[in-house]
Amino acid sequence: MKYLLLLLLLPFGANSIYAQNQSPEQRLEELGIVLPEVTEPIANYVNVVRTGNLLFLAGKGSRNPDGTLITGKVGKDLTTKEGYEAAKSIAIQHIAVIKKEIGDLSKVKRVIKVLGMVNATPNFIGHSQVMNGYSDFMFEVFGEKGKHARSSVGMGSLPVNLAVEIEVIVEVED
């Protein structure tokens, strides 16, 4: 029985150790992830505000690899799995913003707090499973430094019918 438990836990522990033995850039390369170009917002706000060693990243919306928006309500237009992938797409965008701001992703000390907003039907209850797409990817890239406090909430609507919008606070080195 204890060997079965060990086998069940091994992938999670192995990923954690593995991610910690590589730089975040190496992990992204190994995962085949190319960070998108960070564009400036078209409204009166910025992608990131740094105060001391904290980065406050603006909410980003879900996007396909070609840059088109992932829209619709989870529970009606998208499955939980599709919502998971939409949330993961935002993690990739946020990492691109962090890289542009600090240059070297190894300077990330900790992903602190994540607020995930899921455009969902009133009866949808899988908000946390959708947000796992973001959390799992941050852990996969940053290891233990990617674990964070998180809120996952359902919304009746999001701007331009986005499926998911997420904001994050990250601690970085000087």
All domains of the chain, ordered by start, with CATH?
A: 2-172 (3.30.1330.40)
Q: Could you report the per-residue pLDDT of 134-149, keeping only the tens digit for each?
A: 999 999 999 999 999 9
Task: Report residue 143 as tokens.
Answer: 């290891």
Q: Give CA–CA dist 137/116, Å, rounded.
A: 14
pLDDT of 3 over the 80 cut: no
Q: What pLDDT is stored for residue 20 in this prediction?
A: 56
Q: Could you report the per-residue pLDDT of 22-57, keeping only the tens digit for each?
A: 999 999 999 999 999 998 998 999 999 999 999 999
Q: Could you report the per-residue pLDDT of 90-99, keeping only the tens digit for each?
A: 999 999 999 9
The average confidence (pLDDT) of the chain is: 91
pLDDT of 77 over the 90 cut: yes
Radius of gyration of the chain (CA): 16
Q: Give CA–CA dist 136/91, Å, rounded.
A: 9
pLDDT of 161 over the 80 cut: yes
